């Protein structure tokens, strides 16, 4: 019985690559929602909230949740609830080091308007050049 010579196979088997890509896609789909940071607040919505920050540096973001607790995203106490005195101390340190930093407020839409305005005035008295509000697009 004579052996037949086979031609070398010149096709690339792409099935393993497709399997790897699907696994990576699933991993990214599962981990992407976990990458969001901060405190969960229900932000007010606007039709066109397309304001961009002028500087390239990270802004100082202060959050007020629906219970009225304050949080700072640029401090050693990040993720911990603070009262206004502790927030003043932490924000004062950041603003003293960098007076030109952008300050943004993420206020839950269920927080009374007066508390947000009080926080804005308080941050300005600490030396913030301008204070902005973070909203969600409709």
Give the pLDDT confidence of 42-62 residue by residue, as tens digits: 666 766 655 555 556 788 888
CATH topology for 45-137?
A: Nucleotidyltransferase; domain 5 (3.30.420)
pTM over 0.85: no
pLDDT at 47: 67
Most confident of 67-71, 127-131, 133-137: 67-71
Q: Give strand ranges (E) for 1-138.
A: 45-46, 60-64, 70-72, 103-107, 131-133, 136-137
pLDDT at 113: 84
Mean of the pLDDT values across residues 13-24?
92
pLDDT at 23: 95
Q: 71 near 62, Cβ under 8 Å?
A: yes
Summary mean pLDDT of the chain: 81
Neighbours of 77 (CB within 10 A): 13
Neighbours of 110 (CB within 10 A): 13
Instruction: Please state, in angstroms and as integers, the Cα–Cα distance from residue 28 to each residue in 23, 24, 25, following that order.
Output: 9, 6, 5
pLDDT at 82: 87
What are the structural domain ranges in the chain?
Answer: 45-137
4, pLDDT greater than 80: no
């Amino acid at each position: 019985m004579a052996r037949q010579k086979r031609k070398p196979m010149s096709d690339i088997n792409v099935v393993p690559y497709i399997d790897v890509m699907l696994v990576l896609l699933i991993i990214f789909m599962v981990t992407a929602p976990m990458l969001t940071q901060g405190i969960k607040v229900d932000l007010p919505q606007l039709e066109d909230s397309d304001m961009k920050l002028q500087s390239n540096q990270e802004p100082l973001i202060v959050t007020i949740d629906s219970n009225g607790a304050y949080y700072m995203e640029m401090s050693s106490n990040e993720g911990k609830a603070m009262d206004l005195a502790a927030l003043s101390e932490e924000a004062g340190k950041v603003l003293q080091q960098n007076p030109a930093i952008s300050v943004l407020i993420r206020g839950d839409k269920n927080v009374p308007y007066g508390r947000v305005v009080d926080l804005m005035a308080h941050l300005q008295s600490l030396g913030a050049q301008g204070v902005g509000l973070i909203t969600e697009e409709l």
